[in-house]
Amino acid sequence: MIGVFGGTFDPVHCGHLRSALDVKQALGLRELRLIPCYQPPHREAPVANPGQRLTMLRAAVGDESDLLVDNREMQREGISYMVDTLASLREEVGDEPLCLILGSDAFLQLDSWHDWRRIPELAHIVVTHRPGWELAIEQASPAIQALWRERHVSDLAELGQSPAGKIFLQPITPLEISATRIREMVAAGENPRFFLPDAVWNLIRMNGLYGFNATALDNESATQSATQQDE
Protein backbone atom coordinates (compact mmCIF):
# COMPACT_ATOMS: atom_id res chain seq x y z
CA MET A 1 0.00 0.00 0.00
CA ILE A 2 1.06 3.56 -0.73
CA GLY A 3 0.10 6.49 1.47
CA VAL A 4 -0.58 10.00 0.16
CA PHE A 5 0.00 12.91 2.56
CA GLY A 6 -0.64 16.29 0.94
CA GLY A 7 -0.29 19.83 2.21
CA THR A 8 1.17 23.27 1.67
CA PHE A 9 4.10 22.58 4.04
CA ASP A 10 4.55 26.32 4.63
CA PRO A 11 6.87 25.47 6.30
CA VAL A 12 7.11 21.74 6.89
CA HIS A 13 7.55 21.05 10.60
CA CYS A 14 8.08 18.18 13.01
CA GLY A 15 4.34 17.71 13.47
CA HIS A 16 3.96 16.89 9.77
CA LEU A 17 6.90 14.50 9.77
CA ARG A 18 6.06 12.68 13.00
CA SER A 19 2.43 12.18 11.96
CA ALA A 20 3.54 10.88 8.57
CA LEU A 21 5.87 8.34 10.15
CA ASP A 22 3.25 7.27 12.69
CA VAL A 23 0.68 6.66 9.95
CA LYS A 24 3.14 4.78 7.75
CA GLN A 25 4.08 2.44 10.57
CA ALA A 26 0.53 1.95 11.84
CA LEU A 27 -0.85 1.06 8.41
CA GLY A 28 2.17 -0.96 7.29
CA LEU A 29 2.54 1.13 4.13
CA ARG A 30 5.17 0.22 1.57
CA GLU A 31 5.84 3.93 1.15
CA LEU A 32 4.35 7.25 2.17
CA ARG A 33 4.51 10.14 -0.26
CA LEU A 34 4.59 13.72 0.97
CA ILE A 35 3.04 15.81 -1.82
CA PRO A 36 3.37 19.60 -1.54
CA CYS A 37 0.63 21.46 -3.39
CA TYR A 38 1.41 24.18 -5.90
CA GLN A 39 -1.68 26.28 -5.21
CA PRO A 40 -4.27 25.18 -2.62
CA PRO A 41 -7.90 25.45 -3.74
CA HIS A 42 -9.41 26.09 -0.28
CA ARG A 43 -7.09 28.66 1.26
CA GLU A 44 -4.93 31.68 0.57
CA ALA A 45 -1.73 31.24 -1.40
CA PRO A 46 1.20 30.02 0.74
CA VAL A 47 3.71 32.59 1.97
CA ALA A 48 6.78 30.79 0.60
CA ASN A 49 6.81 30.13 -3.13
CA PRO A 50 6.46 26.59 -4.51
CA GLY A 51 10.18 26.11 -5.09
CA GLN A 52 11.06 27.24 -1.58
CA ARG A 53 8.49 24.93 0.01
CA LEU A 54 9.67 21.97 -2.06
CA THR A 55 13.29 22.66 -1.12
CA MET A 56 12.39 22.85 2.58
CA LEU A 57 10.43 19.60 2.38
CA ARG A 58 13.28 17.77 0.68
CA ALA A 59 15.73 19.10 3.25
CA ALA A 60 13.43 18.02 6.08
CA VAL A 61 13.06 14.47 4.79
CA GLY A 62 16.75 14.16 3.96
CA ASP A 63 17.79 10.51 3.82
CA GLU A 64 14.79 9.22 5.79
CA SER A 65 13.89 6.11 3.79
CA ASP A 66 10.37 5.85 5.25
CA LEU A 67 9.23 9.07 3.57
CA LEU A 68 9.26 10.08 -0.09
CA VAL A 69 8.81 13.60 -1.49
CA ASP A 70 6.60 13.59 -4.60
CA ASN A 71 6.62 16.84 -6.59
CA ARG A 72 3.94 16.07 -9.19
CA GLU A 73 1.67 18.93 -8.09
CA MET A 74 4.58 21.36 -8.38
CA GLN A 75 5.27 20.13 -11.90
CA ARG A 76 1.60 20.36 -12.86
CA GLU A 77 1.31 23.95 -11.55
CA GLY A 78 -2.06 25.70 -11.28
CA ILE A 79 -4.60 24.82 -8.60
CA SER A 80 -3.71 21.51 -6.97
CA TYR A 81 -6.76 19.25 -6.98
CA MET A 82 -6.25 16.01 -5.07
CA VAL A 83 -8.46 14.09 -7.47
CA ASP A 84 -6.00 14.87 -10.30
CA THR A 85 -3.06 13.80 -8.15
CA LEU A 86 -4.71 10.50 -7.24
CA ALA A 87 -5.65 9.84 -10.87
CA SER A 88 -2.03 10.40 -11.88
CA LEU A 89 -0.80 8.07 -9.14
CA ARG A 90 -3.35 5.43 -10.06
CA GLU A 91 -2.00 5.35 -13.61
CA GLU A 92 1.48 4.72 -12.23
CA VAL A 93 0.80 2.10 -9.57
CA GLY A 94 -1.91 0.04 -11.25
CA ASP A 95 -4.02 -1.89 -8.75
CA GLU A 96 -1.81 -1.33 -5.71
CA PRO A 97 -3.90 0.13 -2.86
CA LEU A 98 -3.61 3.88 -2.38
CA CYS A 99 -4.43 5.49 0.98
CA LEU A 100 -5.22 9.21 1.12
CA ILE A 101 -4.36 10.47 4.61
CA LEU A 102 -6.77 13.14 5.90
CA GLY A 103 -7.38 14.83 9.21
CA SER A 104 -10.90 14.60 10.58
CA ASP A 105 -11.80 18.21 9.71
CA ALA A 106 -10.74 17.74 6.10
CA PHE A 107 -12.73 14.51 5.81
CA LEU A 108 -15.91 16.07 7.19
CA GLN A 109 -15.63 18.77 4.52
CA LEU A 110 -14.64 16.44 1.69
CA ASP A 111 -17.75 17.29 -0.32
CA SER A 112 -16.36 20.83 -0.80
CA TRP A 113 -13.42 19.40 -2.76
CA HIS A 114 -13.25 19.43 -6.54
CA ASP A 115 -14.82 16.31 -8.11
CA TRP A 116 -14.82 14.74 -4.65
CA ARG A 117 -16.97 11.70 -5.50
CA ARG A 118 -14.13 10.30 -7.62
CA ILE A 119 -11.70 10.33 -4.70
CA PRO A 120 -12.93 7.10 -3.03
CA GLU A 121 -12.92 5.48 -6.47
CA LEU A 122 -9.19 6.21 -6.74
CA ALA A 123 -8.00 5.62 -3.16
CA HIS A 124 -8.93 4.48 0.30
CA ILE A 125 -9.40 7.34 2.77
CA VAL A 126 -7.59 7.08 6.11
CA VAL A 127 -8.94 9.58 8.63
CA THR A 128 -6.50 10.34 11.43
CA HIS A 129 -7.72 11.26 14.91
CA ARG A 130 -6.57 11.50 18.50
CA PRO A 131 -6.79 8.33 20.61
CA GLY A 132 -10.14 8.12 22.38
CA TRP A 133 -11.74 10.68 20.08
CA GLU A 134 -14.87 9.93 18.04
CA LEU A 135 -15.56 11.24 14.54
CA ALA A 136 -18.39 13.80 14.65
CA ILE A 137 -20.00 12.35 11.54
CA GLU A 138 -23.37 13.82 12.52
CA GLN A 139 -21.89 17.27 11.83
CA ALA A 140 -21.10 16.36 8.24
CA SER A 141 -23.36 16.89 5.25
CA PRO A 142 -25.85 14.15 4.29
CA ALA A 143 -23.57 13.22 1.38
CA ILE A 144 -20.57 12.62 3.66
CA GLN A 145 -22.71 10.73 6.17
CA ALA A 146 -23.88 8.45 3.37
CA LEU A 147 -20.31 7.97 2.15
CA TRP A 148 -19.30 6.99 5.70
CA ARG A 149 -22.11 4.45 6.06
CA GLU A 150 -21.32 2.86 2.72
CA ARG A 151 -17.53 2.68 2.94
CA HIS A 152 -16.34 2.68 6.58
CA VAL A 153 -14.45 -0.44 7.70
CA SER A 154 -12.91 -1.21 11.07
CA ASP A 155 -10.48 -3.92 9.90
CA LEU A 156 -7.18 -2.57 8.57
CA ALA A 157 -6.70 -5.73 6.51
CA GLU A 158 -9.56 -4.69 4.23
CA LEU A 159 -7.47 -1.82 2.86
CA GLY A 160 -5.04 -4.30 1.37
CA GLN A 161 -7.77 -6.31 -0.34
CA SER A 162 -8.78 -3.69 -2.92
CA PRO A 163 -7.14 -0.72 -4.65
CA ALA A 164 -9.58 1.88 -3.29
CA GLY A 165 -13.01 2.53 -1.85
CA LYS A 166 -12.77 2.09 1.93
CA ILE A 167 -12.69 4.59 4.81
CA PHE A 168 -10.62 3.71 7.86
CA LEU A 169 -10.05 5.56 11.14
CA GLN A 170 -6.46 5.63 12.39
CA PRO A 171 -5.60 7.07 15.82
CA ILE A 172 -2.37 9.03 16.12
CA THR A 173 -1.06 11.44 18.75
CA PRO A 174 -0.10 14.62 16.86
CA LEU A 175 2.51 17.07 18.05
CA GLU A 176 0.97 20.44 18.90
CA ILE A 177 2.86 22.37 16.23
CA SER A 178 1.36 24.83 13.74
CA ALA A 179 2.92 26.22 10.57
CA THR A 180 1.01 29.45 11.23
CA ARG A 181 2.57 29.73 14.68
CA ILE A 182 6.04 29.09 13.27
CA ARG A 183 5.60 31.86 10.70
CA GLU A 184 4.43 34.21 13.46
CA MET A 185 7.43 33.34 15.60
CA VAL A 186 9.87 33.97 12.76
CA ALA A 187 8.24 37.32 11.92
CA ALA A 188 8.38 38.33 15.59
CA GLY A 189 12.08 37.54 15.85
CA GLU A 190 11.52 34.45 18.01
CA ASN A 191 13.45 31.20 17.60
CA PRO A 192 11.28 28.29 16.35
CA ARG A 193 14.05 25.71 16.64
CA PHE A 194 12.91 22.20 17.68
CA PHE A 195 9.46 22.85 16.15
CA LEU A 196 10.96 22.14 12.73
CA PRO A 197 14.09 20.37 11.46
CA ASP A 198 17.34 22.33 11.67
CA ALA A 199 17.74 21.99 7.89
CA VAL A 200 14.45 23.84 7.39
CA TRP A 201 15.30 26.53 9.94
CA ASN A 202 18.62 27.08 8.17
CA LEU A 203 16.84 27.56 4.83
CA ILE A 204 14.40 30.03 6.38
CA ARG A 205 17.29 32.10 7.70
CA MET A 206 19.37 31.86 4.54
CA ASN A 207 16.48 32.99 2.34
CA GLY A 208 14.88 35.49 4.71
CA LEU A 209 11.55 33.66 4.63
CA TYR A 210 8.49 34.57 6.70
CA GLY A 211 9.91 37.98 7.63
CA PHE A 212 13.07 36.56 9.17
CA ASN A 213 15.28 39.30 10.59
CA ALA A 214 18.65 38.22 11.95
CA THR A 215 19.01 41.39 14.02
CA ALA A 216 15.64 40.89 15.71
CA LEU A 217 16.50 37.29 16.54
CA ASP A 218 19.89 38.32 17.94
CA ASN A 219 18.20 40.94 20.12
CA GLU A 220 15.68 38.38 21.37
CA SER A 221 18.48 35.93 22.22
CA ALA A 222 20.45 38.64 24.01
CA THR A 223 17.41 39.60 26.08
CA GLN A 224 16.78 36.00 27.07
CA SER A 225 20.45 35.53 27.99
CA ALA A 226 20.44 38.65 30.17
CA THR A 227 17.26 37.52 31.90
CA GLN A 228 18.76 34.12 32.66
CA GLN A 229 21.90 35.73 34.10
CA ASP A 230 19.78 37.96 36.36
CA GLU A 231 18.05 34.88 37.70
Reply yes or no on whether the pLDDT at 200 is more than 50: yes
Reply yes or no on whether the pLDDT at 45 is more than 70: yes
Dist CA 198 CA 168 (whole Å):
34
Pick from 123, 124, 128: which is nearest to 108 by CA?
128
Judge if pTM exceeds 0.95: no
Reply yes or no on whether the pLDDT at 151 is more than 70: yes
- Hey, what amino acid is at 46? P
What's the number of CA atoms in the CB half-sphere (13 Å) around residue 170? 30
CB 96 within 8 A of CB 90: no
Dist CA 159 CA 165 (whole Å):
8
Residue 71: predicted pLDDT: 98
- Binned at pLDDT 50, 70 and 90, residue 42 comes out as confident
Residue 72: predicted pLDDT: 98
- Binned at pLDDT 50, 70 and 90, residue 68 comes out as very high
Note the CATH number of domain 2-171: 3.40.50.620
Tens-place pLDDT, residues 96-123: 999 999 999 999 999 999 999 999 999 9
- Binned at pLDDT 50, 70 and 90, residue 58 comes out as very high
Q: How do the domains of the chain map onto residue ranges?
A: 2-171, 179-230
